Structure 1
Amino acid sequence: MKRKYLIITAIIMALSMILSACSSGKSSGSSSSGDSKKVPTLRIAYMPDIHGAAPLVIAQKKGYFKDAGIKVKLVKFDSGPPEFAAMASGDIDIAYIGPGATFLAAQGKGNIIAVDSLNTGDMVLATKKSGISSIKGLKGKTIGVPKGTSGDMVLNLALKNAGLKETDVKKVNMDVSGAVSAFIANKVDAVAIWSPFTNEIEKKVGKSNMVKLADDTNFFPDYVFPQSWVANPKYLKSNKENVIKFLEALGKANNYRSNHTDEAVKLTSDFTGVDQESLKVQVTTTQFMTSKDIAAKMKDGTAKKWFENLEKLFVENGSLDKVVDGNDFISPDLYQKALNK
């Protein structure tokens, strides 16, 4: 009898332990699933410069993305049009663009969600060997330029002001690295590109072997050249909160960059491989704004006017059929919401 009692007791204890383990496991699993929300990863297109890379690097290093509750995968590009192609194929969620690619946003291929800064670093450079000393001297000459970029835009403006048409010159569409190489090798008479690539040319050929024919400042104040962040329209439609989280981190990084320029240059150089001297030159060809100022300019319609004014140039060069209302491709409320979080 005693033995039977012991066996029953042992069975009861064993069952109690099993039930306890099951209960504990269920509770732990429930808690785990409740606490472990999957952190979204945004695929961001950047350019290796003080505009399109610096805020991202800073946000990574300072933990701003983590604080906002997102992760990012950074993908390098050298110009805007390929970024829009990547957004169209669903490979990129958000991208940094220069002023020259704004026409693609106006075509509905991207939503401008923030201004980054104002650019003064686009230049039209001629080789010393070409003998060209003015924009008028470009007539009949070969110019290397990445089509659909801010360099292309400044070139077109310069030609127009000099009384020349695009058909009066031989424009060769090439990526920015190819344009730099072609200039150095004297395979083109001139190029229309931007800093820090202009500084790369200066280092290779020497200042005395290049002639600056025009830059952004020649067209102020009639034309202002904002650099921007754009979102893939499909991604924005389904992931608005993620975009706001990105802008929350971007706003903090933007202010940090403005107040810690030297550190921003070093971090960007370490990440991109671009030498610090070139990035420092780019700082001097940029008008940075505080995040509050960016939000204000987007809210009061100033930025809208900037972009619509650029659209007039795109209509003139055939990139756009007509000037599109900025409200159709600019989303100013998102940046304000991000700053208010």
Structure 2
Amino acid sequence: MKIKRNLFSFISLMIVLAVALAGCGSSPNSDKTSGQNENGSSDKIIRMGYQKGNTINILKESGILEEKLKEKGYTVEWKEFVHGNAVVEGLVTKNIDFGHAADGAGIYAQAGNKPLVYVGADLPNPEGVGVLVHKDSGLTSIKDLKGKKIGVLQGGNHHYLAVLALEEAGISAEDVEWVYLNDAAQGRTAFETNKIDVLASYDPFLAGTEIDLETINLTEGKDYGYPNRTFYYTNEEFNQEHPELVELILAATDESDKWANENKPEVVKLVSKMLGIDEAIIAKAIERREYGVNKINEEIIAAQQKQADVYYELGLIPAKIDVAEYMPIN
């Protein structure tokens, strides 16, 4: 009987301890955007991912988001990334809650079964990408590019534009020689030294090449049905648990964007300093775009689906995807 009583006492003690620990403990994956820290002060933090020079970077400098979140007891932690794929990885691993990256980054994430949510989009910026040739090259239209070397960053927005332009001219993507570059600087060097015949690029590097070299933009002023949008993304958990904060961030970004449209000279100085690129180049890139936030809608989904389908046809992603699965309509 003594053994049974001791066993019963031991089990009872373990149950009490388990209940106590459950009451004071927390999951290692608990949401950092809620609760209080051990000192009793607010620990409600929104983690924002950005790249230098993009719209969230302008939002960061404006202070608008901090002001709006302060009323709700939140603070902001800004995390800088070198490119959009790194922003997406930060979202997938839940190191950030909200981020901004290009259209291709979302497609690659979904193709790799990496969960995230598209929550908004920038306004179209079709003039922010282009296909350049040297003015003295003798190439005067996209139809002249058959058999030529075209330099791109594989899977970039400018790569996609070049494919659409070739298709419209009746040229298959297999009828040109693609030269895949590591970065925009390498592309500029390859083009300047005639190691490639054609350079597809994106702002502000497109603008820089246009200003510094004698070029013809073969796609300028032409509509290939490509809006060239960048997107606002969240991780799944943040979007599910804090839809009101997602809306607040998008509203703050749109407010910041409206300020940017009305104060482009100031934005030029700001972005020029961020990127270390001459103001004349940044001014050319900024003057041909309009800032603003759109909610996800059927038109935006259709354009992104078309791009995903082309990526599959080019072998850039391993299987077809349905982008609507990641793009709920707001």
The within-5 A match list for 1:53-202 is: 53-59=57-63, 63=67, 69-78=74-83, 80-88=84-92, 91-107=95-111, 108-109=113-114, 110-120=116-126, 121-128=128-135, 130-174=137-181, 175-202=183-210
Matches within 5 A, 1:1-341: 36-49=41-54, 51=55, 53-59=57-63, 63=67, 69-78=74-83, 80-88=84-92, 91-107=95-111, 108-109=113-114, 110-120=116-126, 121-128=128-135, 130-174=137-181, 175-205=183-213, 209-215=214-220, 217-220=221-224, 222-233=225-236, 236=239, 243-289=246-292, 291=293, 294-295=294-295, 298=296, 301-320=298-317, 321-326=319-324, 328-333=325-330
- Shift, 1:329, TM fit: 0.7
Question: Mean Cα displacement is larger for which, 225-234 or 243-252?
Answer: 243-252
Which range moved further: 152-161 or 230-239?
230-239
Equivalent-residue separation in structure 2 for 1:224 and 1:53 (angstroms): 22
**TM (normalized to structure 1)?**
0.71
Q: Is the 2:125–2:290 Cα contact (8 Å) retained in structure 1? A: yes
**Residues 153-190 of structure 1: CA deviation (Å, up to 9, x unaligned):** 10110111122222222212222222123223333221
CA distance in 2, matches of 1:246, 1:230: 11
Which residue pairs with 2:9 in the alignment? Answer: none
RMSD: 3.3
Alpha-carbon distance in structure 2 between the residues aligned to 1:243 and 1:265? 28
In 2: Cα distance, 1:306 partner to 1:126 partner: 27
1:195, distance to aligned residue in structure 2 (A): 1.5
Deviates more, 1:80-89 or 1:161-170: 80-89
Instruction: Quote the Cα distance in structure 2 between the aligned partners of 1:186 and 1:97.
Output: 31
Determine which structure has the larger helix proportion and give its number. Answer: 1
Deviation at 1:234, TM superposition (A): 5.7
Contact 1:45 1:83 in 2 (8 A): yes
1:259-294 superposed Cα distances (whole Å, 9 cap, x missing partner): 3333333333333333332222223332434x5xx2
Deviations 1:274-333 (A, max 9, x none): 3332222223332434x5xx24xx3x533333323433433433345335152x112444
SS in 1 for 2:254: helix
Task: Work out the number of aligned pairs and report it.
Answer: 289
Give the letter for the 1:317 counterpart: L
> Identical aligned pairs, as a percentage?
22
Deviation at 1:151, TM superposition (A): 0.5
CA distance in 2, matches of 1:60, 1:275: 27
Contact 1:58-1:253 at 8 Å conserved across structures: yes
Q: CA deviation at 1:47?
A: 4.5
What amino acid is the match of 1:311? Answer: A
Whole-Å separation in 2 of the counterparts to 1:89 and 1:172: 32
Contact map agreement 1:57 1:271 (CA 8 A) in 2: no
Unaligned runs of 5+ in 1: 1-30, 334-341
Q: d(CA) in 2 for partners of 1:32 and 1:307?
A: 41
The residue type paired with residue 263 of structure 2 is H
Higher relative contact order (CA 8 A, sep 6+): 1
Assess if the C-alpha contact under 8 Å between 2:97 and 2:238 holds in 1. Answer: yes
Match of 2:30 in 1: none
Structure 2 residue runs of 5 or longer lacking an equivalent are: 1-35
Please tell me whether the aligned partners of residues 52 and 274 of structure 2 are also in contact (alpha carbons under 8 angstroms). Answer: no
Separation of aligned partners in 2, 1:64 and 1:183: 46
Letter aligned with residue 195 of structure 2? K
Question: Would the aligned equivalents of 1:58 and 1:264 in 2 still touch at CA under 8 Å?
Answer: no
Query: Is this contact kept in 2: 1:113–1:331, CA < 8 A?
Result: yes
